[in-house]
A and B are shown apart, each in its own frame.
Chain A
Amino acid sequence: MDTFYTLHDFLVYTKGAAYILMGVILLGILGFWLFITGRDEDTYIK
């Protein structure tokens, strides 16, 4: 477990991690959407 001595330390750590995570999430959701709709085009072609 990380040790934090000030609230500032804690927020820098957690917010920093959250910002990195948000980038990952953005890509993850995009990938998930592409996975779900991956075969939709087939329906239109038919």
Chain B
Amino acid sequence: MATDSAAIKKKLLTPFNIVVGIILVVGAILTVVRFTKGLAGVTNLSDNNPWGIWISFDLLCGVALAAGGFTTSAACYVFGLKRYHSAVRPAILTAFLGYSLVVFALHYDVGRPWRLPYPFFVQSGPTSVLFEVGLCVFLYLITLFIEWAPSALEWLGLKKPRNVIVRMTLALTIFGVVLSTMHQSSLGALYLIAPSKLHPLWYSMFLPLFFFVSAIVAGLSMVIFEGTLSHHYLHGKMDKTYLREHDGVTLGFAKGAAMVLVVYFFIKVIGLTMDNNWHYLLTGYGAWFLVELLGFVALPALLYALGVRERNLKLIRWTAVLTVLGIVLNRFNVSLVAFNWQLAPADRYFPSWMEIAISIFIVTVGLLVFRFISTHMPIFYEHPDFREHAPHEGEEEEAPELTEHELKPHPQTFGH
């Protein structure tokens, strides 16, 4: 008995569990402080800077990086690229969790969670861009929930409702694409109201277009990045179909990302030309703009292209990391670094450690939920009772069972 409890204790006290435990405890304490002491208790926000890292990272980056859901499902169901079918469920799950966490994080910023439905049902402001963003996120989150539901229903063995939802797939995908197009671009449109606050190199009448196009890149790159990590940590939970299609998904999405990145690069240059902002490139902000444009847009486009041309999956995977960092950098630049750029340094915003800790807490919650769902529900494999395709030769009929021991990292990740 004593040996059993010691073994359980040893099993639970892994470095991962300890770090996650500390993050969750700190996050819970800070949550109590936030909702009892107000924004001033945990943030460095001010009248000059009412939107901080929770908007920049949790919302702007969260929404952009969750774009893999609509790009993957559109590629598979709207454009008929069925060879990407195995990537749809992980992408939809990532998007669903991403948007759920965006709404979860928004509560920390706006407070009073019970008033969340007010903008839609009590005091709507239909002339506001923010209203459109809110409504789209609200509707898209419901759409993503329905798109994700078949995995949960298969897990629960509920065939009838699962079959009803599966028949709605195309309609849901189209609805999701429309909603994503609207709110991804509207997040950029939010900043059109602040031409005097946003640095001219980042301010452009094309901001909605920049945000939408870069979100497609973010979505494609996140599918590659998330697929790589899942391949590493959840290898035992993947069926042969997923594993067989994995490299094709990586190559295909890298090709798509390279083309969209190069289009994004060119429309950024068009934006620069239309506003005749070339002279700003010689300033400090100009140097930082060039770091973003050349180092995190042009370079990944070239690396993706080389990776696809040479069939170099390792290069593609590292480029996906660089691209994701580039999108995060862009959202930070627009909403923090280049925002209020003319203010004195003392009036500029820098997040408090508690704001950063809450963001880390939210990401950790997302990772745990992703891990739970993907190890319990058919995300990386087809449930044997709901197979759409006959298993290939040599493919096991049963879904792979995952034990804790099989959660050990797979050696292929970035070194394949």
Contact = CB atoms under 8 A, between A and B. Distances in A.
Contact of A21 (B255, B270, B276, B279): B270
Given A10-B276, A36-B308, A25 B266 contact: yes
A29 B263 contact: yes
A21 B305 contact: no
Contact of A18 (B273, B301, B305, B310): B273
Contacts of A18: 270, 273-274
Contact of A29 (B266, B274, B308): B266
A16 to B, nearest CB: 10
B25 interface: no
Contacts of B266: 21, 25, 28-29
A45 interface: no
- For the residues of B in contact with A, the DSSP-based class is helix
B258 interface: yes
Interface string B164-201: 00000000000000000000000000000000000000
Interface residues of B, number: 18
Nearest to A33: B259
Interface in B242-276: 255, 258-259, 262-263, 266, 269-270, 273-276
Contacts of B259: 29, 32-33, 36
Interface residues of A, number: 19
A32 B309 CA distance: 11
Contacts of B263: 29
Nearest to A43: B311
Nearest to B275: A14
Given A18-B270, A28-B262, A36 B279 contact: no
A35 interface: yes
A15 B274 CA distance: 6
A37 B106 CA distance: 43
A39 B262 contact: no
A36 B261 CA distance: 13
Of the candidates A13, A32, A39, the one having the most CB atoms from chain B within 10 angstroms of its own CB is A32
A22 B309 contact: no
A1 interface: yes
B258 A36 contact: yes
Given A21-B270, A39-B309, A29 B276 contact: no
A10 B255 CA distance: 38
Given A32-B305, A35-B305, A36-B308, A13 B262 contact: no
Contacts of A36: 255, 258-259, 305, 308-309
A22 B308 CA distance: 26
Interface in B43-78: none
Interface in B153-168: none
10 contacts: A2-B276, A13-B276, A14-B273, A18-B270, A21-B266, A29-B262, A32-B262, A33-B259, A36-B305, A36-B308
